[in-house]
Amino acid sequence: MKLSAFRSLLLATAIAVTATAAMADEAWRKRAGIGEFAPAAQNWEEIEAAAREEGQVVVYSVSSRIAKLVDDFRERYGVEIIGHDIPSDLQIEKLRREHKSGVYGVDVLFNSEFPMLLNEALPNELVWNFLPDTVIGDLAENEKSPLLVQRHSSRVLFYNTALNPDGPPIDSLWDLTRPEWAGRTLLPSPLEDGLSANFIQTILAHPDEMAAAYEREFGAPIEYSAAVTEAVDSNPLVDKPDAAMEWLHRFLNNQPIFQGSTTKIFNNVADVKQDNPPVGITSFSKMRSNEEGIYAAAPMIDLDPVFGVTYPTALMIADKAPHPNAAKLLIRYMMEEEGLKPWNEPGDYAARAGFEAEQVREFDLPPFDSLKLWPIDPDEIYSSKHNFLALYLALG
């Protein structure tokens, strides 16, 4: 009797605490005009005035280039950007822990870890999507929701153009598994670099395309190695072997060279003073490092079935942001020309169609949609991380 009374007291307290938290959260959303309280029309004069009042905006940023916006933004709106330079996955870890202890200090997240954002941060209401109405017409549906996309970056295969005047030395991802390419592919280790893991995971998610590409390359249907069949047998989460696994197995056993820095990979591929240049998987935007007579490399855009993997970077408002109006203002600003400038470079494509068209002209590159790139599948990558590690270790 006594115990049950105690229990119900505990339960009541628990409900009260949860309810208070929920109410506080609701009050914040109401005040900030976020979520279900988002107004039908955005009044930018009001937002700007309120932002000036708030005086600052705190950002967790995946790129240190956020610092380049500080002066211009202050001049325009009288708001100080406080930028924390933190890798994407750690931003989410930090935000999660801060929330748990009732510390609410950050306003905006600038983050490219979509697998965790969509599967952890968004469903747990740690972050909120905010779509400035000024950019709606310029974005595709999947760039507006579930999160506002600022730009698309990619990891792609580069070759040395100076020493391969007739074009790329290979024409298929399967070429990387041939003996003559043993020990001649550079990439960041998928066990060290999250984006490199995403690259391999995205290939693993396209077994049919990889099988078709195999037939085009070798003219015969694929046969699985014993190691692949064994790896499948010992892994309860995988049903049957497929071409993508076979590719990973052959690729890993063809002595790929893992290097930590994407800059170094580009330089090693692009160095014109060498005899037998390797190919390398690195950031698309590294092509800005080409220098007459020193570095010459280009992405192999015709590679079969794809020459790389692309991933978006998003802007969002943190739950219980102390400066919600300044946050909205900054997000709008970072979608505009001035605010995008630090990230305007060849290989990174702006989400806004208008700016992308300008980039295509300026950098003489094909439009983003026409590129043979696979976008990452955030849910697939998120749910198969462990499975990927298992396969990777078993096949390597």
Binding flag, residue 289, another protein (CB under 8 A): yes
Closer by beta carbon to another protein, 268 or else 310: 268
The whole-angstrom separation of Cα 330 and Cα 323 is 11
Using CB atoms within 10 A of its CB, is residue 249 exposed (0-12), middle (13-18) or buried (19+)? buried
> Of 70 and 139, which CB lies nearer to another protein in the complex structure?
70
396 binds another protein (CB under 8 A): yes
Is 20 a binding residue for another protein by CB under 8 A? The answer is: no
Concatenated DSSP letters for 157-199?
Answer: EEEESSS-TTS-S-SBGGGGGSGGGTT-EEE--TTT-HHHHHH
Residues in the interface with another protein (CB under 8 A) total: 73
Q: Rounded distance, CA 374 to CA 306, Å?
A: 7
Is 211 or 318 the residue whose CB approaches another protein more closely? 318
Amino acid at 253: N
- Which residue lies nearer to another protein by CB, 133 or 338? 338
**Alpha helix (H) ranges present in the chain?**
2-32, 44-54, 70-77, 88-100, 114-116, 141-144, 194-204, 207-218, 226-233, 243-252, 262-270, 324-334, 337-340, 353-363, 378-383, 385-395
Q: Which of 111, 161, 172, 259 binds another protein (CB under 8 A)?
A: 259
Shortest distance in whole angstroms from residue 298 CB to another protein: 15
Interface with another protein (CB under 8 A), residue from 192, 208, 338, 369: 192
**Cα dihedral sign, 315-386-198-255:** positive
* Residue among 44, 224, 363, 382 that touches another protein (CB under 8 A): 382
Min separation Cβ 66 and another protein, Å: 10
Q: Closest distance between another protein and the C-beta of residue 117, in Å?
A: 12
Closest CB 145 distance from another protein, rounded Å = 23
Q: 3-state class of 231 per DSSP?
A: helix
Q: Exposed (0-12), middle (13-18) or buried (19+): which is 266, by Cβ within 10 Å? A: buried
Chain positions 55 to 74 lying near another protein, rule: CB under 8 A, are: 63-65, 67-68
Q: Nearest approach, Cβ of 297 to another protein (angstroms)?
A: 10
* Span from 126-134, 210-218, 286-294, 324-332 in contact with another protein (CB under 8 A): 286-294
Q: Smaller CB distance to another protein: residue 225 or 254? A: 254
174 — alpha (psi -120 to 50), left (phi > 0) or beta?
alpha
Q: Report the site for another protein in 315-374 (rule: CB under 8 A).
A: 342
**CA dist 115 → 155, 296, 307 (Å):** 16, 34, 22
Return the residues of window 82-141 that contact another protein according to CB under 8 A: 82-86, 89-90, 93-94, 97-98, 100-103, 105, 116, 119-120
Among the residue ranges 7-15, 39-47, 240-248, 288-296, the one whose residues contact another protein (CB under 8 A): 288-296
Angle between helices 44-54 and 70-77 in degrees, nearest 10: 110
Tokens of 321: 């942001």
Q: Which of the ranges 30-38, 171-179, 187-195, 352-360 carries the binding residues for another protein, by CB under 8 A?
A: 187-195
Q: Please identify, using beta-carbon distances, which residue of 161 and 267 lies nearer to another protein.
A: 267
Judged by CB under 8 A, the stretch of 127-135, 206-214, 330-338, 386-394 that binds another protein is 386-394
Site for another protein in 232-251 (CB under 8 A): 234-235
Q: Binding residue for another protein (CB under 8 A) from 9, 11, 49, 294? A: 294
Q: Which of 257, 301, 353, 360 binds another protein (CB under 8 A)?
A: 257
Phi, psi of 370 (to 5 degrees): -85, -5
What is the pairing mode between strands 108-111 and 80-85?
unpaired
Residue 185 · residue 176 · CB < 8 Å: yes
